[in-house]
Amino acid sequence: MNNPFTLKGRTILISGASSGIGEATAIVCDQLGATLLLLGRNEVRLEEVKSKLSLGAHKSLVVDLSDFEVLEQVLKPFLESTGAIHGLVNAAGVTSTFPFKLFKPEKLEGLLKINVHAAFYLSKLMLKKMSKSGGSIVFISSIMATHGEKAKTLYAISKGAVSAGVKSMAIELAAKGIRVNSVAPGIVNTPMTASATYKKNEELLKLTLSKYPLGFGEPEDVANACAYLLSDASRWVTGTEMVLDGGYTAQ
Ligand SMILES: NC(=O)c1ccc[n+]([C@@H]2O[C@H](COP(=O)([O-])OP(=O)(O)OC[C@H]3O[C@@H](n4cnc5c(N)ncnc54)[C@H](OP(=O)(O)O)[C@@H]3O)[C@@H](O)[C@H]2O)c1
């Protein structure tokens, strides 16, 4: 039986694979038959993720994505022995939460560097390796790109840039058979949100959860959407954003 959701025979590169959404995406893609190229900064955690995967030809690379020169240098030899790449998931990212009155340009620059510049630069570096028979690039944006929250202005700016960039990139790359999409999650239980203020204060947690009809998400909920966007099941989908938020933005 034809299964358009399969990732058998596909090679997929995932940044931020050492934690949270990137880790879950690696596990789901592995279960769907993909060969994985995993990027992360933390070698120990990256190896831990690899140990959770089947015994495939998976490879990993320890690299800080915010050092663009080093990224370009190390990516080339890492990809040399690999054939065509069919998918890329830009899951590496950082967050920030603080009142706008504390805004400083360098804080925004730090956030943009990893959430925007590194994700788009990595995508550009991968273009030549993308399969001639088509490829899929997935970015992780956030509902903060379209819906405001206190203390999230800088993070929202960075995710707004991701959501917007994806659309023009999709138009430009369609002729090469490369699809480009983003997912926009609400709050997902990952190490990124583990120490959020609302998780430390019972009343605030209750209030925040009340905005989520289906509760907070789990990394797998985002990983499954990424797997769909990487597979042939989404072959007619490009330049779009899939909202994954347990009903947060429906209200
Ligand atoms: N969790 C949520 O509620 C939520 C909601 C919406 C969107 N998102 C987005 O989803 C993405 C993944 O978030 P997450 O929740 O999975 O966070 P996470 O568990 O903290 O994972 C972040 C990942 O990004 C990597 N990373 C960060 N800075 C890096 C750098 N300079 N170079 C290389 N890798 C770097 C980390 O690597 P190390 O392990 O080496 O540090 C880690 O693998 C982010 O873009 C985030 O903004 C998350």
Helices (H), the chain: 20-31, 43-51, 68-80, 105-112, 119-126, 153-173, 191-194, 197-200, 202-209, 219-230
Report the Cα 73 to chain-centroid distance in Å: 22
Q: How far is the CA of 117 from the centre of ligand 1 (A)?
A: 14
- Summarize pLDDT for 138-157 with one digit per residue, the tens: 999 999 999 999 999 999 99
> pTM (2 decimals)?
0.98
Across the range 69-85, mean pLDDT stands at: 95
Pocket of ligand 1 (CB under 6 A): 16, 18-22, 40-42, 45, 64-66, 91-95, 114-115, 140, 142, 185, 187-188, 190-193
**How many angstroms does the Cα of residue 217 sit away from the middle of ligand 1?**
15
37 class by beta-carbon count within 10 Å (0-12 exposed, 13-18 middle, 19+ buried): buried
Beta-bridge partners for 241: 182
Q: Which CATH architecture has domain 11-190+219-242?
A: 3-Layer(aba) Sandwich (3.40)
Q: What is the pLDDT of residues 97-131, one digit of tens each?
A: 999 999 999 999 999 999 999 999 999 999 999 98
Closest CA to 127 of 63, 195, 177: 177
Rounded to an integer, what distance in angstroms lies between the CA atom of residue 192 and that of residue 243? 19
Question: Helix, strand or coil for residue 152?
Answer: coil
